[in-house]
Amino acid sequence: MTADWTRGYASDIDYTRGWYRELSPLWLDTALALAGVAPPQPTEHGPVWLELGCGHGLSALALAAARPDMTVIAVDFNPTHIHGAQRLAQAAGLANIRLVEADFAELAEDTTGLLPPLDYAALHGVYTWVGDESRRHIARLIARRLKPGGAAYLSYNCLPGWAAAMPVQFLLNAYGQALPGPKAAAGDQARDLLLHLLNQGAGFFTGNAAASARTDRLRGATAPYLVHEYMHSGWRPAYHAQVADDLAAAKLSYAGSAAWVENFPDLMMTRAQQDMAASVPTRALAETVKDYVTNQPLRRDIFVRGPLALDARQRVARLGALRLVALGEPGAALPDFTLPLGSPDPEVSRLFHPVLVVLAGGPATLADLVEHLARTVPDWGPDSAGCLLRAVAILVAGDVLSPCLADGQIQAALPGVRRLNQALLADSLLTGAAPDHEVRLPERLASAVTGGGVMASVEEMGALAAHWAGEVVMPPDALSRLARLGVL
């Protein structure tokens, strides 16, 4: 059932419950430092952060709990999403979050002061899922409320990475438009049709490996994911140059990528490809050329209103102060890091292990790491600090490391984080018997250490819920990782 308020956005089924690490100011500030751009300068009252299209609000709730110094505002027009998030905020006693049920259109033209001046505006998985009209409202809203120096984070489906698979989305959405009744049922039928076409060797698929792979992955997709990812009438991927153009009207300039590794051109492109990207007339086109090289389907862009460059000394100072924490258990196997150019350079990958050895002793700053590794790693030379920065960005991309708050901030965050995690687990356990059980379990819990969320396995969540319920005496190490990460 769709209603007028949806503007063509499929809202007859709840969205999946996701957390996105890139939304955090600490994360974004570091990405900006890597790109050589000054971060926003909040007042002494702390950063003001807005999320547009917050879904169930889990990222916003985790940030509010982990950063009591921040004002968090999260907006979505789906009342079910906002209602659920408000209940969690209330259960966790979070006083620094406002969850607002509103359409972007209302906020874009608001003159009643609904939104204060903003240091950050963040949108994950929204911009290319909504129609042109909503995109204009988003740009207008950001233009009116983001402070000079403020940062806007947008992730979006980009071209040309999506080009080959757009017909997959077309059929899913067209089915949803053509069939009356729940979108999930139409999605299932359209998925079956696509898989049938794939299995029967339809020419579109035989000539198009990317579309075949994407369709094959639909097999395991849950109904909420299928509907919310593909079945909106306004869904349309965009070239970076187009998005940069939309936001230029809001006086925003592209500043860097929230995917830290993407701020190192040499990790993304060969020397010859970098030269080609550098030869085009504008930065927006250079980024677009990069997308032709990498063929990535999703971008994570940071735009700044009036960006100021950091000089070399300021950049070194900012990055040196970056504190890092290891997310896994010491000695855990590393994931396979595949960059657009293949495996990382051995000069970079040889530093993975020494970095993890230092961080096994607890969080450390990048300056500490340089100081320690310069003494212990053989053949440490003038280029080694640059290799370390790249090694850290790659480990962060693989969820092996995370940026981490200062000790004082961690202590201040712990009570709220604990209450939120208790509320989250109670909420998911209460609804555990529902058919969409896997959708209701949070993928992450809030963390006072990372200042946002951390991945937690189903086993860890079960152990934590039992621990809080006082049901079982825990094996001593079942919760040690979560305790180290400030989850309980």
Ligand X SMILES: C[S@@+](CC[C@H](N)C(=O)[O-])C[C@H]1O[C@@H](n2cnc3c(N)ncnc32)[C@H](O)[C@@H]1O
Binding stretches for ligand X (CB under 6 A): 7, 9, 11, 15, 18, 53-55, 76-78, 81, 103-104, 124-126, 129-130, 134, 228
Structural contact between residues 75 and 50, judged by C-beta atoms closer than 8 angstroms: yes
Structural contact between residues 103 and 138, judged by C-beta atoms closer than 8 angstroms: no
Type of residue at 229 = E
Please say which residue, 28 or 356, places its beta carbon nearer to ligand X. 28
- Closest separation in Å from C-beta 61 to ligand X: 12
Please say which residue, 240 or 300, places its beta carbon nearer to ligand X. 300
Helix (H) or strand (E) holding 194, with range, is helix 183-199
Nearest-CA neighbor of 123 among 104, 109, 106?
104
- Closest separation in Å from C-beta 372 to ligand X: 37
- Closest separation in Å from C-beta 103 to ligand X: 4
Helix (H, G, I), strand (E, B) or coil at 412: helix
- C-alpha–C-alpha distance, residues 130 and 246, integer Å: 14
- Closest separation in Å from C-beta 130 to ligand X: 4
- Closest separation in Å from C-beta 65 to ligand X: 18
Question: Could you write out the DSSP letters of every residue in 416-443?
Answer: HHHHHHHHHHHHHHHTTTSTTHHHHS-S
For residue 160, whether the previous peptide bond is cis, meaning omega lies within 30 degrees of 0, is: yes
Which residues neighbour 364 within 8 Å (Cβ) at sequence distance 6 or greater? Answer: 323, 324, 358, 372
- Closest separation in Å from C-beta 243 to ligand X: 16
Please say which residue, 7 or 444, places its beta carbon nearer to ligand X. 7
Listed in order, strand segments (DSSP E) in 117-185 are 118-123, 146-159
The DSSP letter of residue 10 is -
Please say which residue, 30 or 78, places its beta carbon nearer to ligand X. 78
Which residues neighbour 372 within 8 Å (Cβ) at sequence distance 6 or greater? Answer: 358, 364
Please say which residue, 58 or 391, places its beta carbon nearer to ligand X. 58
- C-alpha–C-alpha distance, residues 161 and 30, integer Å: 26
Please say which residue, 131 or 354, places its beta carbon nearer to ligand X. 131
- C-alpha–C-alpha distance, residues 351 and 360, integer Å: 14
- Closest separation in Å from C-beta 373 to ligand X: 36
- Closest separation in Å from C-beta 53 to ligand X: 3
Q: How far apart are the first and last CA of the chain?
A: 40
Structural contact between residues 295 and 239, judged by C-beta atoms closer than 8 angstroms: no
* Closest CB to ligand X: residue number: 53
- Closest separation in Å from C-beta 277 to ligand X: 29
Helix (H) or strand (E) holding 90, with range, is helix 79-91
Please say which residue, 124 or 305, places its beta carbon nearer to ligand X. 124
Please say which residue, 78 or 450, places its beta carbon nearer to ligand X. 78
Please say which residue, 226 or 304, places its beta carbon nearer to ligand X. 226
